[in-house]
Structure 1
Amino acid sequence: MPTRRLPDDPNLDHLRKQAKRLLTELRVDNPDATLAEAQLATARSYGFPSWPRIVHHLELVDRYSRSPHRQSIGGPLDTPEQRADEFLKLATLHYGQDDPARQRAAQQFLPEVAQSNIYTMVVAGEIDAVRRNLSQARVEGGPYRWEPLLYLAYNRLDAPNQVEIARLLLANGADPNAGYLWQGMPSPFTALTGVFGRGEGDQPPHRNRVELARVLLEAGADPNDSQTMYNCGPGSPPPYDEVHLELLLEFGLGRGDGGPWHERMTTTHPTPQQLLEDELVFASSTGLLHRVELVLAQGIDPDNRGTEHPGFGGHRAYEFAAVQGFTEIAELLRAHGAAPLDDLHELYAAVWRGELPTVDAALAARAIAKDPHLPLRAAETGRTEALEPLQRLGFDLNLMTHSAPIHRAALNGHLETVRRLIELGVDPEQRDPMYGGNALGWAEHNNQTAVAAYLKGLPQGTGTR
C-alpha cells in the first residue's frame, strides 16, 4: 500500500521537484546517490513500482482530465456553434454550479439547436437524427470533449428516447465505460455515474436511471464504479435508497478486476473488494440496515476498516453501529464475527448517549487523537446530546476541515444542534475555506428555512468572534 496519496489533479513538475529535494537529502549521507534512485523512492512512496509507471499514470490523468464545471455560461452567442455549446452546458450535470434553472434555460434553445451536432441530438432526444449520425457514436466533442454517451448520461432535460438512443450508440461502438476524471481526481465520472446522479449538491439522477444503468451494464459497463458508490453514499445527504447497490451487485460489484478504469488508475483507485468494505462501513455508520445485509451477503469481513477513507476515521463498521446505537446492525455484525468494542469506543458510545464517564487525561487524549473529527459527525447527524461531553473531553467544536460542525448541522437542518453549538461558544459567522460561507449560508444553500430563520434572529456579535 502507498504511504501517501497522490494529490488530486497531480502534476509531473511537482513530482520532479519532490524527487530532486529527496536527492539533496539522500546525498547528505550518500554522496553517490543518483536522481534515478530518488525518483524510484518518490514513486514507491505513492505506491507505484517505478518512476516510469508513475509518469505513465500522470499522462493518463492528463489525457482523461476534464473540468466541465469551469466552462463559463453566457458570453457571445452569435454563432450556431456557440448556441449549441451553450445549450449543452445548460442541459447537462457537471458538478459545479448545477441548478434546475439551468435546465429550464436550456429549453429556450430548442428546437433551434436540437440537430446542430451529434451531442445536441442526443440531449434533445432527436432519435432519427442520431440514427443518421451513428458514425460519430464515439467521437469526443462539444464543450466538454465528451463522447455522445456521456452527454446522454449527464443530461437532465426531460427529453424523449433516451434509453433507445443509448442502445443505438452502444450498438454502434460507444464505450459503456466512457468517463472522465473530474479536474484530474482519480475516481472516474463514468456514464454510470452520470445516470445515478446525487453526490455533491445532491444532484438528481437521470429520469431513466434504472433502465439506462441496466442498458450500460448489459453492454459491459463495469459495476465497480467508485464515483457512483460515493455519490449514492457518503457523498450525498439522506434519504438513501438501494437501487444502485442492488443493480451493481446483480452485475458483479465487488468481483472481477475492477475494469478499465481500475487498470488505468492502479493504486489510486479502490479494488472491487475495497468498494464493498467502504460501503459496509458507510452503511453501518448511517444506520442503513438493508445495505449492511446486502454487503454482508457478499462475504465481506465485518472487521475490515475499508480503504482508510478519512471520513471514516479508521473505525470498523461495528464500532460505528454500536457507538451510534444502531442496535440491529451491531447485532448483525457481531453475528458475522465482528470483535467487541475497545475502551476508546466504549467511551465514544457513552459520549454519543450524552454521558461523560470519569476518564483519565491519557484516555481523553487518545480519544481525540484517534478521531478529532467526532464533533463534525455529531453535528452532521444531529447528535446534540454528544456536543457538551465532546467539548468537556477536549474536542474542538470549531474544528474546520472543508466545513465546521455548525456548517454541517445547518446544512442538514438540525436546529437544536445549531442552537446548542452556539450556546457552547461556537461562532456562527466562521467561514468555510472553500466557499466562504457562514452557518446561515449553508442553511440557505440547502433550503433549511427553520435554521436560517433562527440564525437571522441572533443578536449581532453572537459567538466567539
Structure 2
Amino acid sequence: MSASAGAAPADTFLTLARLTYVDDSPERRSDALALLAEQPDLARRDVFAAAALGDRDAVGEHLDRDPAVASAAGDDGWTPLMCLTYARVPQRDAYGTARLLLDAGADPDAGVLLGGDVPPFTALTGCFGEGEQGPGRQPRHPQGEALATLLLERGADPSDGQALYNRMFGRDDSHLRLLLAHGLGRGDGGTWRRRLGERQDPPGRMVALQVDWARDHGFTDRLTLLAAYGFGEGTPLDHPSPWHERVALPAVFAAATPAGVRGVAAEGAPLDVKHHGRTLLHHAAWIDDVELVEVLLELGADPGVLDDEHRATPLGWAAWAYAHRTAALLRPVTPEPLA
C-alpha cells in the first residue's frame, strides 16, 4: 500500500493510520483522520480499514458477506488483525473487533517481513509498539496489553523478537512480564521459526539478547525479572549479541537508571560523556523518560550539549521524537538557540 495520490482511499488511509516503521509521526495519523472525514464510509467499503478503526459492526458485515476475509491479506501481506494492532487512530472497539476476527479464523501469528528482514513484525509486535523512532512517534497501542493477552491466549507465539527489540530501549518491563508468563523463551519457536528456519533466532537466544542489553545498560530490575524465569545467561562469546558493546560503556550509560546514575555520579563519573555521539540526557529525552531526565538535570547534566551527528540538544531530540513530557522539562533550561 502506498500513500501516493493514485492510491485507493482505503490504501492511503491505512498507510497513514498504522505504524509503518518507516516514517511514523502524529501528523500522519492526523492526515488519516482528515481523509476519513472526507470518506466516512471507508469502514463499510474495506475490511482492512474497518479493522484499523476497530469498527466491530463494520467488520461483522464484511464477515457475514465473506468469512474468509478474517484471514485475508492485502497486497502488502497485512491482515485485518494486523491493521487493527498497528493502527494508532481512535478505534471504536479494538478488543471486540480483534476477538471477532479471531473467532472467524484470523491467524494470531500473522506477520510480515518488512523489507524482507527478520524478525517478522507480527500482530503481537503491533500491540506493544515503540521502536527506534521512540515512543512518541511509535506509541504502544492504547489497549496493547489486553490485545496482546488475547492474541497469546489464542495461540500467538510469545517469543516475538521484534517486540522484544522495540521495547528494550526503555526501563518499563510490562511487556516482558506478560510474555514470560505465556512462555517467552520456551518451545521450538512456533510458526515463524518453522517458516524461516535458521534466519529466525530460537526462543532461548531471543531472551539471551535481552539479558545482554539489560546487563550492559544497568537495567537491574529487568535482570531480576529474567532470572526469576531461569534466564540468567546472555549470548555466548562465539555468537554474541549484535548490540553488545566491544568496549565498556561509559559509566553513566552502563548505569542508565535513576538510581544507577545517582550512584555513579556520587563516585565522580562524568554525566555529559558521549556514547555513539550523544549523551545519556539525549537518550533519556528521546525515550521520554521523565524520571531519568529529572535526575540527570538535578545532578548537573548539561542540557545545552549538542550531539555529534545532528548537532541538536537533548530538547531537540525530545522535540523530534514527540516526547512532550521530557521536552517540557528541558525547554526552560535549554540555552538558545535550539539546535
Aligned to 2:45: 116
For the pair 1:135 / 2:135, whether they are aligned, the reply is no
Q: Which residue of 2 aligns with 1:319?
A: none
Match for 1:385 among 251, 262, 265?
265
Whether 1:183 and 2:123 are equivalent positions in the alignment is no
Residue 308 of structure 2: aligned partner:
430
Give TM-score scaled by structure 1 length: 0.57
1:223–1:252 contact (8 Å) kept in structure 2: yes
1:173 is the counterpart of 2:105: yes
One-letter amino acid of the structure 2 residue matched with residue 259 of structure 1:
G
Contact 1:122 1:130 in 2 (8 A): no
Mapped to 1, the partners of 2:213 and 2:97 lie a distance apart of: 35
Question: What code does the residue aligned with 1:444 have?
Answer: A
Structure 1 counterpart of 2:201, from 270, 277, 284: 270
Task: Please tell me whether residue 451 in structure 1 is matched to residue 325 in structure 2.
Answer: no
| Conserved? CA contact 2:131–2:165, under 8 Å | yes
Cα 1:398/1:287, change in 2 over 3 Å: closer
Amino acid of the residue matched to residue 249 of structure 1?
L
Unaligned runs of 5+ in 1: 1-67, 314-369, 423-427, 461-465
Question: Offset of 1:194 from its aligned partner?
Answer: 0.3
Residues 311 and 455 (structure 1), Cα distance of their counterparts in 2 relative to 1, 3 Å cut: farther
Counterpart in 1 of 2:278?
404
Report the secondary structure of 1:206's partner residue.
coil
CA RMSD of aligned residues (A): 3.6
Report the TM-score, using the length of structure 2 for normalisation: 0.75
Report the secondary structure of 2:113's partner residue: strand
Q: 1:389 to 1:211 in 2, by over 3 A?
A: closer
Pair 1:148-2:74 in alignment: no
User: Which of 16, 20, 33 is the equivalent residue of 1:94?
Assistant: 20
Question: Match of 1:356?
Answer: none
Q: Which residue of 2 aligns with 1:220?
A: 155
Cα distance per residue 1:195-246 (max 9 Å; x no partner): 1112232132223323322221222211111111222223xx34x142x223
Bigger RCO (CA 8 Å, 6+ sep): 2
Question: Within 5 A, what are the aligned runs for 1:44-443?
Answer: 71=2, 73=3, 75-76=4-5, 82-108=8-34, 109-110=36-37, 111-124=40-53, 125=55, 126-132=58-64, 133-141=66-74, 144-200=76-132, 201-202=134-135, 203-234=138-169, 237-238=170-171, 240-242=172-174, 244-284=175-215, 285-289=217-221, 291-302=222-233, 308-313=240-245, 371=247, 373-374=249-250, 377=253, 383=261, 385=265, 397=273, 399-400=275-276, 403-405=277-279, 407-408=282-283, 411=286, 413=293, 414-415=296-297, 418-419=301-302, 422=305, 428=306, 430-431=308-309, 436=310, 438-439=312-313, 441-443=316-318
Distance 1:459 1:102 in 2: 25
> Cα deviation per residue 1:93-118 (whole Å; 9 max; x = unaligned)?
11233223433332331423122222
Amino acid at match of 1:177: D
Give per-residue Cα distances to partners, 1:268-313, cap 9 Å, x unaligned: 4332222333333444544453x44432232234576697334343
Q: Percent of aligned positions with the same letter in both sequences?
A: 32
User: Which structure 2 segments of 5+ residues have no match?
Assistant: none
Cα 1:165/1:444, change in 2 over 3 Å: closer
Greater Rg by CA: 1
